[in-house]
Chains A and B, each alone.
Chain A
Amino acid sequence: MANEVRERNWEPKIVAFVCNWCTYVGADAAGTSRMQYAPNVRIIRFPCTGRIDPLFIIRAFQHGVDGVIVSGCHPGDCHYVSGNLLARRRWIVFRKLMDFLGLDLRRLHFAWVSATEGAKWAHLVNEIVEEVRQAGPAPTWAMPTNGATQIEASLPEIGLPPSPPPELTSQIREIAKQLLGTGEVGVVGYEKATGAREGAATPTFVNKPEDADRLIFNEHCIHNLAVYLTNPLVKKFGKVGIVAKGCDIRSIVGLIQENQIKREDVSIIGVVCNGVVVNGRLADKCVACPVKVPHIYDHLVGDPSSVQTTASEHPLDAQIAYLESLSPEERWNFWMPQFARCIRCYACRAVCPLCYCQPCIAEKHRPQWIPTSPHPQGNLAWNIIRAWHLAGRCVGCGECTRVCPVGIRLDLLNRKLAIEVERAFNYRPGFDPSAPTPLSTHRPDDKEDFIR
């Protein structure tokens, strides 16, 4: 009964994030001109759309709003030159992320409203309130009661990669000895795991030439060692040599691009790689790998002509297409149970070379943007923001998915964002150390078809 009453009396609750110079003044103009429009919108004023972090949008939905409007100056009119153009790039990708998670896009709107467009603002608000009304009350950030959506498209069966030739190991050792002979370089590489994990490889650190014979390379060298380049206990080595597959080198490129390390401080021992083994199969990332032959290195190990041809389709794309074929509600019911399992061990963050922030947004508590409790709200906020912060930066090394103790499909989120970034900005991360990252830059002619 109480619910029925609530539903009958339900009115869309909408938050508008607007810029100070254009839309706020436009909304004011609507008011001073005595234009009537729906009273469902609460306006929050920002200096610029460039300041409107998607985190605010997540936060608004988390606190129970039914819809969000983000609006600012038209392209070319930004009072800070390009804040709105940077914002536009973010919106293009963020909107795709929220859609993929199952947010009904009738709830999320972007607009350009100038200071003189009071009438446009009034009209826009009326339209959006109607759309949100049709979408109904926003889904709760709790476990769905009607069961979890399962992906009915299974991942293709993948065999094993060929074992790398044993001379890779001896070549790596030789190079490491040379590097260590100079006396100031430590080398991050792989060694054989012992005991219970016999047959596996494990990260290791060598700082004496005589220890270089511990180093190995084989198809079990799954770890992305680039994560150690920003590790304080490894930085103590000074200049570091690193054994890196092509995928790992893409992460190193990311760290250079983002000024976390200097190119001259790292000596890359690039390894020609036909793929690594995760869970007894070729890793998904290896199937359509574009960097089996390393693209940037100081020393190259292995024979580029030994590389086997690469499939063109990423194995995750079939599952992504399946999820996209579902309704937003079904997608939401896929992701909520995934995230509900999260125990916030942050292993996904710890293994990610590009998650180097100190402190991480999840550790900031004034204000507490991301609830630290592993309840559905906190987990959803954390998992969205993790994916979002890696948009246009994630090289798809797959480590986060490999280490998640509760099997959350982070690989699908990362892959989806990589597809969208490439589609929108023709950019693939990890190739050009001098290129700006796609979400830290803009083009005046960036294409979109959803901003009103």
Chain B
Amino acid sequence: MLRKRLTRENLNKWIDGLVASGLRVIAPVRERDGGRGARDGKGGLTLFRPITSSAEIATDYTKTDLPFKEWLFPPTEVILHYRIVDGEPVLEDPEVDATKTVALFLRPCDAAAIPILDSVFGGDYEDEFYMTRRRNLTVVGLSCTEPQPECFCAAVGLSPTSEAGSDILLTPVGDEFLVEVLTEKGEQLVNQYADLFADAGDLTKEQVTEQAIAKMLRKESLPTFAETYSELFEHPVWEEIARKCLGCGVCAYSCPTCHCYDIVDEATLFEGVRCRNWDCCGFALFTLHASGHNPRPTQAHRYRQRVLHKFAYFLQTYGRNMCVGCGRCVIKCPVGMDIYEVVQKVAQASERVGV
């Protein structure tokens, strides 16, 4: 691993150099909505968007309103075209997005979500759409120095400066950045602009990490249910928790790791497309059978799925839980459902039943 240092001025030169070299550079950008703003009251929201200059990058935010996920796994995507030609169906593959892309300033929580998505879309079956974009993506992480009250990355095995998922991790130390070059992809981006980077010398991120963790309100390691969920499955605590859940999809759609999707055909008599769209286990329609039977008939069943997928099933399959502690679902939930508290509550309930 290479360790370098970078001044703020050179950081901007580097970014502008990357843009000028023809790469698609995606970074947090503030978008105005003309209203009171999506929660932060600043009259706008912060989203990952392609930039044409380093000056467009937003600075006054802790994390973006939506995670980076939408650039690897878009909310809607055409996976198949079909037409009827002379009475016969003709199938056409859509073009797969292979644009060389640099993603800038993912917080360590968002970056850590990428390997989680990789294990799903690049596992036994390789998803061509996702993996093509993934192979062409280089991730430049940015350590977090101002955790929000909702954040809990330290409770799920990460930290505000953790390297997981980043090819390069920048950590602000004093007036400059410590640059940790973690992969070959990262090295390529740095080597082309070697004169902008100096040796790291004795620059370390330890103090930054400590300070950031100290500011975090919730860092007690969260329990998981991989061993206990079968006993917990019918526990009344689920209904108690889920009674106030309204069954919208904000939590899943603002989650950097949620990856469920729906396949729909949009067609006329003569041609059509097959789309892959985000879906959410909180929707009643998610498991509704054509017969009318719904194996998850109430919100309690659906919310249980959300919690156990993240803290039991995924862990069983892939060896880690499916939450990076970014806290977006907590911030954005219309009725203040808090997954951190929910997991603790379920754990307490499991103690009561002696699991």
Contacts and interface: CB of A to CB of B under 8 A. Distances in A.
A205 B239 CA distance: 12
Contacts of B31: 341
A158 to B, nearest CB: 9
A196 B62 CA distance: 15
A175 interface: no
Contact of A196 (B33, B43, B218, B250): B218
A338 interface: yes
A197 B149 contact: yes
B335 A347 contact: no
B34 A345 contact: no
A343 B75 contact: yes
Contacts, number: 156
A151 interface: yes
Interface in A5-39: none
Contact of A372 (B262, B330, B341): B262
A404 interface: yes
Interface stretch (B82-90, B227-235, B275-283): B275-283
A351 interface: yes
Nearest to B283: A346
Contacts of A155: 35-36
A159 interface: no
Contacts of A399: 334
Nearest to A227: B246
A350 B217 contact: no
Contact of B38 (A196, A345, A406): A406
A371 B265 CA distance: 10
Interface residues of A, number: 58
A407 B248 contact: no
B277 A374 contact: yes
Nearest to B265: A368
Contacts of B335: 202-203, 223, 351
Contacts of B266: 368, 371, 373
A299 interface: no
A372 B244 CA distance: 26
Contacts of B75: 343-344, 374
Interface in A275-297: 278-281, 284
Contact of B149 (A196, A203, A234): A196
A40 interface: no
Interface in A178-209: 193-198, 200, 202-205
Contacts of B252: 345
B354 interface: no
A160 to B, nearest CB: 13
A195 B340 contact: yes
Interface in B30-70: 31-41, 43-45, 47, 65-66
A349 B299 CA distance: 16
B33 A408 contact: yes
B176 interface: no
Given A344-B278, A346-B249, A399-B334, A205 B38 contact: no
A81 interface: no
B250 A405 contact: yes
A170 interface: no
Contacts of B43: 154
A233 interface: yes
A414 to B, nearest CB: 13
A402 B335 CA distance: 11
Contact of A233 (B33, B248, B300): B300
A425 B148 CA distance: 48
A423 interface: no
A193 to B, nearest CB: 5
Interface in A133-183: 150-151, 154-155
A409 interface: yes
Interface in B240-290: 242-244, 246-250, 252-254, 262, 264, 266, 275, 277-278, 280, 283, 285
Could you say which of B38, B41, B65 has the most chain A C-beta atoms within 10 Å of its C-beta? B38
B334 A338 contact: no
Interface residues of B, number: 57
B123 to A, nearest CB: 25
A402 B336 CA distance: 13
Contacts of A198: 149
A344 B279 CA distance: 9
A232 interface: yes
Contact of A347 (B149, B250, B336): B250
B100 interface: no
Contacts of B332: 347, 403, 405
A89 B340 CA distance: 49
Nearest to A205: B243
Contacts of B262: 372
Contacts of A344: 75, 249, 277-278
A343 to B, nearest CB: 5
B301 to A, nearest CB: 11
Could you say which of B217, B244, B283, B332 has the most chain A C-beta atoms within 10 Å of its C-beta? B244
B204 interface: no
A279 B36 contact: yes
A190 B334 CA distance: 14
Contacts of B150: 196-197
A363 interface: yes
B61 to A, nearest CB: 14
A202 B244 contact: yes
A403 B250 contact: yes
Nearest to B74: A374
A375 interface: yes
B76 interface: yes
B243 A234 contact: yes
A86 to B, nearest CB: 31
B65 A405 contact: yes
Contacts of A227: 246
A84 interface: no
Interface string B14-30: 00000000000000000
A405 B38 CA distance: 6
Nearest to B40: A279
A218 interface: no
22 contacts: A154-B43, A195-B218, A195-B338, A197-B330, A200-B336, A203-B244, A228-B244, A281-B41, A341-B31, A343-B253, A345-B248, A347-B332, A347-B334, A351-B334, A368-B266, A371-B266, A372-B264, A373-B275, A403-B248, A405-B65, A406-B38, A407-B38
Given A196-B338, A347-B334, A373-B264, 17 more contacts: A195-B338, A196-B217, A198-B149, A205-B244, A223-B335, A279-B41, A281-B41, A341-B31, A344-B249, A344-B278, A347-B250, A368-B266, A374-B277, A403-B334, A405-B250, A405-B332, A407-B35
